[in-house]
Chain A
Amino acid sequence: MSFTSISFLFGFLPIALLVYNVIREELREIALVVLSLIFYAIAAREFLILFVISIIVNVLCGRFIYFIKKQIGLKKFLLFAGIIYNIGLLTYFKYFDCRISSFIGISFFTFKAISYLCDVYGEKVALNNSPIHDIFFLCFFAQIQSGPLSRYENMKPIESVVREKKQMFNSFAEGTYRFIRGFCKKVLIADVLANIVNEVFSTANADISFRLVWLGSICFSLQLFFDFAGYSDMAIGLTRMFGYECPENFEYPFMTQSVSEFWRKWHITLGAWFRDYIYIPMGGSRVNKRRVLLNLFVVWLLTGIWHGATANFIAWGIGYFVVIAFEKISGYPLKFKNMIMKFIYRVGTILFINFQFVIFRSQSITQAIGYIKSMLMYSSNSLADARCSFLLRDYGIFILAAIIFCFPIVPFIEKRIVKKRVIYEVWQTVHMICLGAGFLWAISFVVAGANNPFMYANF
């Protein structure tokens, strides 16, 4: 069950909100666990039992690790047993069982479970008396499909911080706003651009042209961003609607000066996970340069493999390793004093990211090489060029909107007018009306059948 499906929006969500709000406060987490399991049963019934077993295994491991603080050997054993169980399950279903796409959220669940075990082992978190909270952390329906990869310590109910009803409603209102914004990003931009991307990437190399491949690659970069950022907005929104905090996952990643900075703004929680549970335990940057390079290589190789075991994902990961290692060792682009050089590097960064996304989207490394070759060598094909013009005419407004909203236009305007009270109020009203209209339009796309699964649901 996707967040953008009609059954979720007008079926599951109102029931979940109703149950959550009428039930006694101390029973709310139990209710959310039950709702999450129902959500999972609807989305991936054949894996429900395995999912429940995995939750129990992890919570038992976590609780034992927590309560046997002094038996270091046993603690270590339980930690490794838990990690091996999670990675074994992920590896089996990701690389040896073709049903991975049906095992909703297995990748994200694995990462959350490992962070839970490691944090408990490292005594970074204090478990409360109720294992229900641990179960809830691992299975909450708002985050189970594709993250964000929140940490146990951050999964706190907002009411434990501020108990006022007004604050709770504000949290709900903010969550609603984020959910609607994400819904619009996903349906109105990502899914519409998917029409272009799917067509271009399924066209044989012989039938494409320079213009068409560039259109396809740019649209894919935009599609992936709006798809995943839209999903993340919805997940964050839902988490807040149910009274919990959730970490941000995107921060206008195309507003970047370097590839390293891009990854601090793109899929933030995944980057943080690799940093905290792979890179830093290996020594991070506080070792000699060779070791730093090795650490970076391992992180990016694993990032590539996590996305898929095929050569194109490994090449994609290594591509990032090469450039990020260069930036780390050389100190560029921070070393540039010249604005022109900084600008050139910034453009080069965006182009590099675009090429990387082509590798990411391709079915094989051969297709990726062929596609990139077509992007680098000018070729004309009258039919492909005509098709390109047609697609630009048909989808131009969506592409333009996608490019505009890639950049922090709305925060920029709000920052400028926030102190001019009347203008700000008018802006807020217009903003909400536009968002509401966009939401209705987005629902119309879903009802009309133009709805695609979330791209990161496959990972």
Chain B
Amino acid sequence: MRNVSWAERVAAVLFILMISFFFIKSWRYDYNFDLWQKQNFIDINGSMAKILKMNGYYSDLGMYITDDNYIVSAYPKTSTDYEYQQVMALKNSLDKAGINLVYVNKPVKYTDDEWFTEQFGTETYGNANATLLMERLSNEGVFVIDLRDNILEDHMNVREMFYRTDHHWTTRSGLWAAKQIAEGLNENCGYSIDTSIYDESNFEMITRESCWLGEQGRKVSQAYVGLDDYTEIKPKNETHYLFATADGNEAGAFEDFIDETIYDLNANVYDSPSWHYSYMQRECHNEDIAYGKVLLVGDSYDQTTEPFLSLGISEMDYVVLRDVDEQFNLEKYILDNDFDTVILCYAQFMIGAHDDEDSANYNMFTFVK
């Protein structure tokens, strides 16, 4: 046996103390093991990745980080055939029943695939896939609102529309999108919504700075990407709603779309619920509006879109296809409930999800069985 230095002996004592201490602190009273100081370790990992400027280190978790701490993802190429075929099948079915169909394409955190390739040396097809599908649908007479075009028209910066640490767009973007969709409904679906109701001046905005960490940020750590700001948006005017509940209807106001208990500034940013989900999609009847019955077939971006859109529509309902059971029949649901308009409102990374059977979003485009 070689000579052992005093430093090695000290290290051995520290090691045994450390693993013993962590062992004692990590076992909970319910006999589950939950590593003590786990989040600090995640922060150490993120800090080191940041110091070493490892923008692609978390790519195996599907995330790349720009130099200014904006988390983005790459998306694989897809033929769009399945999505095209399903949208067309639904359109044909709705046309027969005289129901409007609108397809809304919601952007991801960048609108130029080449920018991504230049930054990270790897290809992404999120925008190319969306462009291809929108072209195919438009050519077949589907009314398409591609919000990327609206972003260009309004000279907006797409990066300011999203949280840095989350894949969702901000509440302001949800409000902006609601206005774009309302304008589309006016132009193509016989609606006459007063779209000025969506102007920001009609809303109270409460901004909390550096207050929450998005779902992506939790994986790469607060230490790496920092915290995001959050803006709670509520109409200044009084609103009157009826919300569908399990027991019937419940009277309320726009504020009932928001779960303000989530805005806990003292909560642990890793454990607290996502602030994006403080806005809820709800089946509702806006008693201040006389016209319109819309079904929004969407995704989690619409946590913020649907409440704002409902300000200009009498009745709104929503479906998230990844959350329904196998027996659910979308066509039957639409016909049984007499909707006048169906909005397919998808973030563009949903396109191609059907290529992967293990994807949580595998069924998002399965409209007609």
A residues near B, CB below 8 A? 6-7, 9-11, 13-15, 17-18, 158, 167, 169-177, 180, 192, 195, 198, 383, 386-391, 393-395, 397, 425, 428-429, 431-432, 435-436, 440-441, 443-445, 447-450
Contacts and interface: CB of A to CB of B under 8 A. Distances in A.
B1 A171 contact: yes
B11 A177 contact: yes
Contacts of A450: 45, 60
B23 A11 contact: yes
Contact of A448 (B15, B117, B221): B221
19 contacts: A7-B33, A14-B16, A17-B19, A173-B12, A175-B12, A176-B15, A176-B16, A177-B4, A198-B60, A383-B117, A387-B122, A390-B55, A394-B57, A431-B7, A441-B48, A444-B42, A447-B41, A448-B41, A449-B61
A429 B123 CA distance: 47
A9 B118 CA distance: 41
Contacts of A432: 7-8, 10-11
A383 B44 CA distance: 32
B12 A388 contact: no
Contact of A170 (B4, B42, B45, B56): B4
B44 A429 contact: no
Interface centre among A175, A391, A432, A445 (most CB of B within 10 A): A432
B152 interface: no
B7 A394 contact: no
Interface in B14-44: 14-16, 19-20, 22-23, 26, 33, 35, 38, 41-42, 44
Contact of B15 (A158, A167, A180, A397): A180
Contacts of A167: 1
Given A174-B8, A387-B122, 11 more contacts: A10-B35, A14-B16, A14-B23, A158-B1, A167-B1, A173-B9, A173-B11, A389-B121, A394-B55, A395-B54, A447-B45
Contacts of B4: 170, 173-174, 177
Contacts of B8: 173-174, 176-177, 428, 432
Contacts of B53: 393-394
A387 B121 contact: yes
B237 interface: no
A269 to B, nearest CB: 19
Contacts of A171: 1
A17 B11 contact: no
B1 A170 contact: yes
Contacts of A388: 121
B150 interface: no
Given A14-B20, A174-B2, A394-B56, A447 B42 contact: yes
Residue from A390, A391, A435 having most chain B Cβ neighbours under 10 A: A390
Contact of A177 (B12, B33, B35): B12
A170 to B, nearest CB: 4
Nearest to A433: B7
Most buried by A among B12, B22, B117, B118: B12
A443 B42 CA distance: 9
B16 to A, nearest CB: 7
A10 B26 contact: yes
Contacts of A13: 19
B269 to A, nearest CB: 16
- By Cβ-Cβ distance, the 10 closest A-B pairs, closest first, are A390-B121, A387-B121, A173-B12, A444-B45, A386-B121, A447-B41, A176-B12, A444-B44, A432-B7, A428-B7
A310 to B, nearest CB: 26
Nearest to A7: B33
Nearest to A177: B8
B59 interface: yes
B5 interface: yes
B132 to A, nearest CB: 20
A145 to B, nearest CB: 20
A436 B14 contact: yes
A167 B57 CA distance: 43
A448 B20 CA distance: 21
B336 to A, nearest CB: 45
Given A180-B15, A432-B10, A444-B48, A195 B42 contact: no
Contacts of B59: 195
Contacts of A441: 44-45, 48
Nearest to B43: A444
Given A176-B16, A395-B54, A11 B33 contact: yes
A397 B52 contact: yes
A66 to B, nearest CB: 30
Contact of B35 (A17, A158, A397, A447): A447
A82 to B, nearest CB: 34
Given A6-B35, A388-B121, A444 B9 contact: no
B120 interface: yes
A440 B1 contact: no
Contacts of B41: 440, 443-444, 447-448
Contacts of A6: 33, 35
Interface string B213-245: 000000101000000000000000000000000
